[in-house]
Structures are given as C-alpha cells and as structure tokens.
Amino acid sequence: MTMLTLSKAINAGLHHALADDDRVLLLGEDIGRLGGVFRVTDGLQAEFGADRVVDMPLAESAIIGAAIGLAFRGFRPVCEIQFDGFIYPGFDQIVAQLAKLHYRTKGAVRMPVTIRVPYGGGIGAVEHHSESPEAYFAHTAGLRVVTCSDPQDAHTMIRQAIACDDPVLFFEPKRRYWTKGEVLDDLPADPLAFTRARTVRAGTDATLVAYGPLVQTALEAAEAAADEGVDLEVIDLRSLAPLDVDAIAASVEKTGRLVITHEAQRSGGIGAELAASITERCFDLLEEAPVRVTGFDTPYPASALEDHFLPDLDRILDGVDRALGRRSSASAAGRAEARPVTGGEGRR
C-alpha cells in the first residue's frame, strides 16, 4: 500500500501495463521527455524507451489514426489528449472509425485502444482547457466511456481499460490530479469491474449520483446534509457507457429519490439519460421527479466565472431539497435551465 496522488496512481498503472505487456504503447504530445502536461507519464519514456512512449506531433487526428493502425497490427495503444477541448480534431477518427471497426468486420477486428482525456474545470485554465465532452462519446455505440474519482480507482481502472479489447475513453478529472490516497501496489484481489458503479456512502433518504470530479463534492454535500438530519446515499457512477442502471435502480428502490450531478451541460447530458432510465424503471417507486444539478447550457466560461458554472456544495444541497420536496428552489432551477447565450436572449 502506497500513498499516491491520482496522477501518480495513473502513472503507476501505466507502468504496470507497459511492464506486463510488450504490445502496450503510449502515444501523445509531450508525453516522453516532458512526462506530459500534468506529468502523468513522467519517467516512463526513460525506462521503456522512445519506441514505446512516443512523442507525437501536435495533431490529435494523427494520434488516434496511428493508434487505430497499431491496433490493427496487434498492439494495445494508449493515447493521451493533452486537454479535453482539443479532442475534437480526433473526433471523426474516434466515432466514425474506432467505434465501428469491430462491428464493421463482424468481430474479426478488435480495437484495444485506450484514449486518456484530462477533463473538467476547476483549475483556472483558459478557453478549451476545462470542458466535459463525455456525453458525445457516451452517445456513440461501440465505445466504452469511464472516469475515475480517487487514486485507487484511477490505478485499477486504467489497467482494466488497457486490458479491455474494446476502445475505451478514459476521462481523468484534472482538478483531482493532486488528490492523495492509499493505492495497492498491485490490483486488488477482487477489483470492481470498470463498468460497474460503486456506493461510496450508504444512506436512506435520497440517492445522490456523481462521477469524476464531483464525487468528492457529493461526499462533502452528504456530510453537510447529515448535519441537517438527511441521510444521503452517494454513488460513484464510474462507467458512463454503459451505464450501470441496475445499481442506481437498486438504490432508488430504497430511497425513492434521485439527484444526479455533473459538470457538463444539462441538456442531452449523462444526467438526462440516467433520469430517463430510472424514471422508466422506477416510476412507481419515486417520491419526486429526479433532479439534475449540472453545468449550464452555455460554453464553459472564463476562469473568473467558473465557480458560478460548476456545481458546488450549495447547489447540490439545493437539488437535494427539491428531491425531498422540502421547498421550491426556482432560482437555482432557472439557472440550470438557461439556454445558450448566442443572441442576447439567455435567461441569466
């Protein structure tokens, strides 16, 4: 057992994967000598060589395209996208090629490609550096989309992603890169499959679902709610595609209330899909309609305003109040429903 930050835990997981399987290669911009913008690949090129930890040109489409070609030849590439907002030049390669090759070849070709994506806000970055594009990829059949929230899960899940024969989008919450926690040097004896959600706090009054960077915020909200006599069950979703609806439904059957929170925009998001699935499945058991606490339907703002954009403890607790039917929170609900401000017609 070692105390590691989340970024070092991923580094250790990559180290294990490189050491265990010669077919594993890392591809990305500045991942070699520099060790990546967040130093997640620090020291790996020095140990495994420039042929296995490869510095690539500033071209995300070329990184993904090269990984697809390598997978065709039996390798297991791991790509790093420097920042969430720069994944779009590689979008066509991911959704039109990588996601479909297994199906298109009737299973003859597997695509064991892992794409690591630092995502989300909270670090005061400039434009294109704080986005949450996970719903685009969760919408695409043929891709697995997962995200971690603590060092142990980061270490375990990155190894499971690389070992998977399907293409995996591995979203890393960049504002949690420096979160420390105990990490087993090897895989846990019985690791939770990376497609499964996990209950990180048991409770009885309402189910609070979060993923990635907001799991810690959800736990803090649960502690604050407990001071008011409200017992929240907190679930870390982990897998965004496929969704572990069974786990959420089992919790809602117990609590009768559901709150979902994520940083990404509200409309068409993971929360919308989960709310619809649980409503279909548990309609007769719900005491109130599911509540979403999310980012707003606007482009991610300048860093000076991101604290207003990101769901925080107060907004999550407000959502819990609405799920409990305690009071109307029209102001917060109105903000969450704000439409894109493209012509001065936004409600904010």
Helix/strand/coil for 27: strand
Give me the numbers of helices (H) and strands (E) for the chain, helices first please: 13, 14
In whole angstroms, how large is the CA radius of gyration of the chain?
20
CA-wise closest residue to 113 among 81, 85, 139, 136: 81
Residue 262 known to be catalytic: no
Catalytic option among 15, 102, 128, 129: 129
Please list the residues that pair with 236 across neighbouring strands.
198, 210
Asked whether the CA dihedral 330, 216, 126, 292 is positive or negative, the reply is negative
Cβ-contact 238, 158 below 8 angstroms = no
Phi, psi of 228, deg, nearest 5: -100, 10
The DSSP secondary-structure symbol of 280 reads H
Element (H, E) at 263: strand 258-265
Q: Residue-wise over 20-39: b if at least 16 C-beta within 10 A, else e?
A: eeebbbbbbbebbeebbbbe
Residues in the chain: 348
Residue with tokens 């769901």: 311
Asked whether the CA dihedral 267, 126, 174, 221 is positive or negative, the reply is negative
Q: What angle do CA 143, 64, 168 make, to 5 degrees?
A: 25
Which amino acid does the sequence have at 345? E
Residue 55 CA to residue 51 CA, distance in Å, equals 9
Cβ-contact 14, 22 below 8 angstroms = no
Return the active site residues.
129
